[in-house]
């Protein structure tokens, strides 16, 4: 007998027929004698609709009320799946975040899980009950419903798996695993049998939305054996209930990966914007003077490039922010014009960041040069570059995103044979 947490995303529970299919996946594991907890997302499109309504009600709104609205999508799915399971003869009960409780901090709209009462769920296992838990939500110190940021049900599932010391956390989605790049834009992408925690963390934070970044962090810290697999597979096909090697991609320690490639995957993030401050007086403290106030305004600054003028007196400071934050960032910079001391501020939206990821880069030279040449051969202009030990990120004009992803995917030999 094993203890398994199963998570189903929005497209997997998009309508009643799909919820029935999900229930068959759950029943398979229950019938095999395992202890099962299930985490569900809102039905596909529901969260977007709810977010849209909060904006329509008021563009500037109270984050606590945003959470009260958007957390409701998951409540519906949890109830519907519990009903469906009961109808199939499975002893199931739905639970919302506050009932367990899943305690979070007070950052409404992007809360972090602080604590989960694992004993509550273990008691349900003891009663032979399948707990169907609303993902994406918890309860804050203010005793109000909180949500975990978009894609947060992945994080609910991994955190619950850690809290109950589950043998496995299965993230069921609309693709059958983690691919070398988003299979929606590169049909030649290959499914990976395994990917290391570190690489998955980079892939997720650089745009691959198959897992929420925070869920990968938690899986890495708590060593949760996490699989990404398809909910659209026939629940009763051979091998689906394999305990140690279910179909899908395993996120694991790098030591578990035998054949390590230099490059594992390509990720992309659209809707980046570039902001440049021209002729900033170059003196100690100038970066702190710019990026401190931007951080205080909760603006996520990403790539930063600084060019010193020939006489060493001035610097151009260029950086990227999500397109949605440009106006807020420009307002902060305008307010600081006198104290920072710059000539002009320029901004351009519609950029994309494409990234090449692989732990093999640590020991291989020339990976970056290969990317630059491949993009140059396609006449794709590079606007900014950042690198770390295991990734290279390149800022380009948005319309070239797909071409750049496919070009890089092919130049590192990731295309399906
Ligand atoms: P869910 O609703 O199940 O949480 P998401 O839409 O959040 O599903 O994530 C699954 C999607 O992630 C896939 O449909 C795919 O388009 C996208 N994706 C992006 N990058 C990758 C990748 N490298 N491997 C697999 N899927 C990816
Ligand atoms: N329903 C939430 C969202 O769309 C959470 C999730 O699906 O993981 O972001
Ligand atoms: Mg998701």
Q: Decide: 206 and 146 in contact? Cβ < 8 Å.
A: no
Within 10 A of 341 (CB to CB), how many other CB atoms are there? 15
Which residue's CA lies nearest to atom 4 of ligand 1?
9
Local structure of 416: helix, strand or coil: coil
Q: Is the CB of 137 under 6 A from ligand 2?
A: no
Q: Is the CB of 11 under 6 A from ligand 1?
A: yes
Edge-first strand listing for the sheet containing 304-308? 304-308, 314-322, 265-281, 345-357, 391-397, 384-388
Phi, psi angles (nearest 5°) of residue 82: -60, -45
Q: Is the CB of 153 under 6 A from ligand 2?
A: yes
Residues 6+ apart with CB under 8 A from 288: none
Q: Decide: 248 and 228 in contact? Cβ < 8 Å.
A: yes
| Cα of 102 from ligand 2 centre, angstroms | 16
Q: Decide: 235 and 25 in contact? Cβ < 8 Å.
A: yes
* Region class of 295: left (phi > 0), else alpha (psi between -120 and 50), else beta: alpha
* The predicted structure's pLDDT at residue 260: 78
CATH of 265-411 among 3.30.2130.10, 3.80.30.20, 3.40.47.10, 3.40.50.80: 3.30.2130.10
* The predicted structure's pLDDT at residue 232: 96
CA proximity to 13, closest of 77, 73, 69: 77
* The predicted structure's pLDDT at residue 416: 79
Q: Quickly list H helices, 206-323.
A: 213-221, 286-296
* The predicted structure's pLDDT at residue 282: 87
pLDDT in tens, the chain (417 residues): 999 999 999 999 999 999 999 999 999 999 999 999 999 999 999 999 999 999 999 988 899 999 999 999 999 999 999 999 999 999 999 999 999 999 999 999 999 999 999 999 999 999 999 999 999 999 999 999 999 999 999 999 999 999 999 999 999 999 999 999 999 999 999 999 999 999 999 999 999 999 999 999 999 999 999 999 999 999 999 999 999 999 999 999 999 998 778 999 999 999 999 999 999 988 888 899 999 999 999 899 999 999 888 888 999 999 999 998 999 999 999 999 988 889 999 999 999 999 999 999 998 989 999 999 999 999 999 999 999 999 999 999 999 999 999 999 999 999 977
Which residue's CA lies nearest to atom 9 of ligand 2?
150
* The predicted structure's pLDDT at residue 307: 87
Q: Which of 77, 206, 208, 210 to mutate to test the pocket of ligand 1 (most atoms within 8 A of CB)?
A: 210
CA proximity to 182, closest of 406, 397, 400, 407: 406
* The predicted structure's pLDDT at residue 234: 94
Q: Which of 9, 152, 215 to mutate to test the pocket of ligand 2 (most atoms within 8 A of CB)?
A: 152
First to last CA, the chain: 39
Positive or negative CA dihedral for 148, 154, 155, 161?
Answer: positive
Any idea which ligand is nearest the CA of 405? 1
Q: Which CATH architecture has domain 3-254?
A: 3-Layer(aba) Sandwich (3.40)
* The predicted structure's pLDDT at residue 105: 97
* The predicted structure's pLDDT at residue 239: 95
Q: Is the CB of 73 under 6 A from ligand 1?
A: no
- What pTM was estimated for this model as a whole? 0.94
| Cα of 192 from ligand 1 centre, angstroms | 14
Local structure of 70: helix, strand or coil: helix
- Domain edges within the chain: 3-254, 265-411
């Amino acid at each position: 007998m094993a203890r398994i947490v199963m998570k189903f995303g929005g497209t997997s529970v998009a309508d009643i027929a799909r919820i029935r299919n999900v229930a068959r996946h759950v029943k398979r594991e229950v019938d095999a004698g395992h202890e099962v907890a299930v985490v569900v997302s809102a039905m596909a499109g529901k969260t977007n609709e709810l977010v849209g309504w909060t904006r329509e009600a008021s563009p500037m709104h109270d984050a606590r009320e945003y959470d009260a609205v958007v957390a409701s999508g998951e409540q519906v799915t949890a109830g519907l799946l519990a009903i469906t399971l009961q109808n199939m003869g499975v002893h199931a009960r739905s639970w919302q975040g506050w009932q367990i409780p899943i305690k979070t901090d007070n950052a409404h709209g992007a809360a972090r899980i602080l604590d989960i009462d694992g004993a509550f769920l273990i008691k349900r296992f003891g009663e032979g009950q399948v707990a169907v838990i609303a993902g994406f939500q918890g309860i804050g110190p203010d005793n109000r419903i909180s949500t975990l940021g978009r894609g947060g049900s992945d994080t609910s599932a991994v955190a619950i798996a850690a809290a109950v010391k589950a043998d496995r956390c299965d993230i069921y989605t609309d693709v059958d695993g983690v691919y070398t790049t988003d299979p929606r834009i590169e049909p030649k992408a290959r499914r990976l049998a395994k990917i290391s925690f570190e690489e998955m963390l980079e892939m997720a934070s650089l745009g691959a939305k198959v897992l929420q970044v925070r869920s990968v962090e938690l899986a890495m810290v708590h060593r949760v054996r996490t699989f990404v697999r398809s909910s659209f597979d026939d629940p009763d096909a051979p091998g689906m209930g394999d305990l140690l090697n279910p179909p899908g991609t395993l996120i694991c320690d790098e030591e578990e990966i035998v054949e390590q490639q230099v490059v594992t995957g390509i990720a992309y993030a659209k809707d980046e914007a570039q902001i440049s401050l021209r002729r900033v007086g170059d003196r100690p403290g100038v970066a702190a003077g710019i990026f401190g106030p931007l951080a205080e305004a909760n603006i996520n600054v990403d790539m930063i490039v600084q060019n010193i003028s020939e006489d060493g007196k001035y610097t151009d400071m260029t950086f990227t922010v999500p397109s949605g934050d440009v106006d807020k960032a420009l307002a902060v910079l305008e307010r600081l014009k006198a104290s920072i001391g710059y000539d002009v501020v320029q901004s351009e939206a519609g950029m994309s960041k494409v990234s090449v990821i692989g732990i093999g880069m640590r020991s291989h030279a020339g990976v970056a040069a290969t990317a630059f040449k491949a993009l140059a051969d396609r006449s794709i202009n590079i606007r900014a570059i950042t690198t770390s030990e295991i990734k290279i990120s390149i800022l380009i004009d948005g319309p070239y995103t797909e071409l750049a992803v496919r070009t890089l995917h092919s130049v590192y030999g990731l295309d399906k044979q």
